[in-house]
Chain A
């Protein structure tokens, strides 16, 4: 007898549904988007106020440099708080509800559980990014756009959200309580961001310690510099975090 076909997105659909009916996701989206919209108006106000001065500098910073990229940089700051809150329950919550064995009993492999949940979280985060991006894009017909720089910054943000999402899922896989998962994800993300702060203060701007820091890779992309090294760094972090989460789930099933 051949087993019934189960869509690879069955877990994603379940997680997405859970995400959408929880008030936390809506409250976070509403508050952060309101905050970003307010900042967008401030950035836009400053941009308009300095327009006459910049008219004398044809190669000076434009709308993307002064409004869009700083707005995305603010989103990156908010992500350190928002992503752990969105991911904290994905696996730790299942463990607390006792529903994780239901997924195992349905014959869903641990890797597919982790990937399914990760894709749901990633969907929410990319939607959040798209809504933020929509603010500067509303003015695309009214001003000159440096599309290359905007694409690079958007890619950087998407990679960063993907990596933080994976980190959050991994912390949720290891934690017994969602709050512990959120705290762990926040601390690890901040540590990854600023691991090179000491080295920079000592005047060291090169070397392995700087390569380890998330800030190094995001800042390059926000400046419009797309390099394979930066992309690989984010992809490696994402894959490593998801692999650790899968390994933990396999151990959970073995241990019972």
Chain B
């Protein structure tokens, strides 16, 4: 579904991501782990089409995404870190705006909006301005916008930020639901529990390079923690290894 090949990007004069190669299948949930500044958000921004890589390629369903950036419109749903919103628009207007930008119109948009409002229980907030929402509510709205057009790839950057434990549980259920429906999900986080709870695979980034790529088992928390800390405490230029 998604193939990253030798993806690199410099930011602020230093390499933020270097030679990153990854493969993701339909229905798979990939956890992207790393300490702050490891290159997770840069990677996700490139996958979402918001940032152009310096080199390398991104393929979506076999098509070169960098040559056809409009593919992102249809295939990708992105929730950036801190869920940026237009503060003067209501929740409902946000969904309409995202729908228009993703090519949804008329009855199809109305149907998609109603479905996502019901699924994420946004009905009581539908007429509220985004500027007055709590951080948790903002995250839910951002997630609704990302899911509105039923993307084939869902890119979530720290989605559990500011959510209470009940909302975190609901988010995990939602991610598993999406994966069961065939959506590929990439989830960036620095919480190991998040990865063991919902992910099939984990990729650990450190100083912009992929240092680990392997399967995750829910009873594997201690092993994952050990691997993560080994990488986080190590120096640079270690090769990626499969678990």
Contacts and interface: CB of A to CB of B under 8 A. Distances in A.
A associates with B = yes
A10 B100 contact: yes
B49 A104 contact: yes
27 contacts: A3-B70, A4-B149, A6-B100, A6-B101, A6-B103, A11-B101, A14-B100, A17-B89, A21-B88, A21-B89, A97-B86, A99-B84, A101-B45, A102-B80, A104-B49, A104-B51, A105-B50, A105-B72, A106-B49, A106-B101, A106-B102, A107-B70, A107-B72, A254-B52, A256-B45, A256-B51, A256-B52
Contact of B49 (A7, A14, A107): A107
Given A6-B100, A101-B80, 15 more contacts: A1-B63, A1-B71, A3-B74, A4-B102, A10-B101, A11-B101, A13-B100, A102-B80, A102-B98, A105-B50, A105-B76, A106-B73, A107-B70, A107-B73, A253-B52
Interface in A1-43: 1, 3-7, 10-11, 13-14, 17-18, 21-22
Given A104-B49, A105-B49, A3 B73 contact: yes
A127 interface: no
Contacts of A254: 52
A108 interface: yes
Interface of A: 1, 3-7, 10-11, 13-14, 17-18, 21-22, 97-99, 101-108, 253-254, 256
Q: B45, B51, B85 — which one has the most chain A CB atoms within 10 A of its CB?
A: B51
Contacts of B84: 97-99, 101-102
Interface in B85-100: 85-89, 93, 97-98, 100
A4 B11 contact: no
Q: A5, A18, A106 — which one has the most chain B CB atoms within 10 A of its CB?
A: A106
A105 B80 CA distance: 10
Contacts of B102: 4, 6, 106
A117 to B, nearest CB: 13
B71 A97 contact: no
Q: A1, A5, A13, A102 — which one has the most chain B CB atoms within 10 A of its CB?
A: A102
A18 B74 contact: no
A7 B109 CA distance: 13
A10 B49 CA distance: 18
A108 B101 CA distance: 8
B103 A5 contact: yes
B100 A17 contact: no
A98 B82 contact: yes
B156 to A, nearest CB: 13
A197 B98 CA distance: 48
B127 to A, nearest CB: 12
B52 to A, nearest CB: 6
Contacts of A3: 68, 70-71, 73-74, 103
Contacts of B85: 97, 99
Contacts of A103: 101
Contacts of B9: 256
Nearest to A104: B50
Contacts of A4: 73-74, 102-104, 149
Nearest to A253: B52
Contacts of A108: 101
Nearest to A98: B84
Q: B48, B80, B85, B88 — which one has the most chain A CB atoms within 10 A of its CB?
A: B88
A39 B103 CA distance: 47
Nearest to A10: B100
Contacts of B61: 1
A104 B70 CA distance: 10
A104 B73 CA distance: 9
Contacts of A18: 86, 88-89
B48 A107 contact: no
Nearest to A89: B88
The 3 closest A-B CB pairs, nearest first, are A4-B103, A98-B84, A101-B50
B119 interface: no
A107 B69 contact: yes
A104 B42 CA distance: 14
Contacts of A256: 9, 11, 42, 45, 50-52
